[in-house]
Amino acid sequence: MFPAIRMNTNESHSHKTSTPCVMVIFGASGHLARRKLIPALYALERRGLLEEHFSIVGFARTPNVTARFRKEMADAVSEASSSGRLDAALWQRFSSRLHYVTGEYDQVESCRRLHEFLAGADCGCARGRILYYMALPPRAVEPTLRTLYDSRCIPWHKGASAPRLMIEKPFGWDAASACRLNRLLARMLPESQIYRIDHYLAKDTVRNLLVLRFANAIFEPLWNCAHVDSVQLTAAEDVGVEGRGAYYDEAGVVRDYVQNHVLQVLALAAMERPESADAQALSDRKLEFFESIAPVRRGDFVFGQYRGYTREPHVAARSRTPTFLALRLRVNNRRWKGVPFYVRAGKRLPRKVTEITIQFKTAPTCVFDGRALCGHAPNALSIRIQPAEGMRLSFSTKAPGLDDELRRANLDFRYSQLGAELPEAYEKVLLDGIRGHPGLFWQADELSRATGFGLECTRFWTGCEI
3-state secondary structure of 95: helix
Active-site residue (options: 99, 115, 199, 261): 261
Residue nearest ligand BG6, Cβ-based? 256
* Buried/exposed code over 18-57 (b: 16+ C-beta within 10 A; e: otherwise): bbbbbbbbbbbbbebbbebbbbbbbbbbbeeebeeebbbb
Q: Which residues contact 307 (CB under 8 A, 6 or more apart)?
A: 348
β-pair partners for 174: none
Distances (CA, A) of 320 to 17, 253, 458, 461: 50, 12, 12, 9
115 noted as active-site residue: no
- The Cα–Cα gap between 244 and 321 comes to 13
User: Cβ 53 to ligand BG6, closest distance in Å?
Assistant: 31
User: Cβ 385 to ligand BG6, closest distance in Å?
Assistant: 8
Single out the residue of 343, 349, 135, 138 nearest to residue 240, CA to CA: 349
User: Cβ 41 to ligand BG6, closest distance in Å?
Assistant: 17
Considering the complex, state which of residue 45 and residue 237 has its C-beta at the smaller distance from ligand BG6.
237
Q: How far is CA 289 from the centre of its chain?
A: 18
- For strands 340-346 and 380-386, give the pairing: unpaired
Considering the complex, state which of residue 118 and residue 209 has its C-beta at the smaller distance from ligand BG6.
209
Type of residue found at 427: E
Footprint of ligand BG6 on this chain (CB under 6 A)? 237, 256-257, 425
Considering the complex, state which of residue 386 and residue 394 has its C-beta at the smaller distance from ligand BG6.
386
Structural contact between residues 5 and 282, judged by C-beta atoms closer than 8 angstroms: yes
Single out the residue of 141, 66, 152, 69 nearest to residue 109, CA to CA: 152
User: Cβ 352 to ligand BG6, closest distance in Å?
Assistant: 8
Considering the complex, state which of residue 257 and residue 441 has its C-beta at the smaller distance from ligand BG6.
257
Considering the complex, state which of residue 237 and residue 312 has its C-beta at the smaller distance from ligand BG6.
237
- The Cα–Cα gap between 447 and 455 comes to 12
Considering the complex, state which of residue 136 and residue 189 has its C-beta at the smaller distance from ligand BG6.
136
User: Cβ 354 to ligand BG6, closest distance in Å?
Assistant: 6
User: Cβ 173 to ligand BG6, closest distance in Å?
Assistant: 14
Q: Which residues carry out catalysis?
A: 261
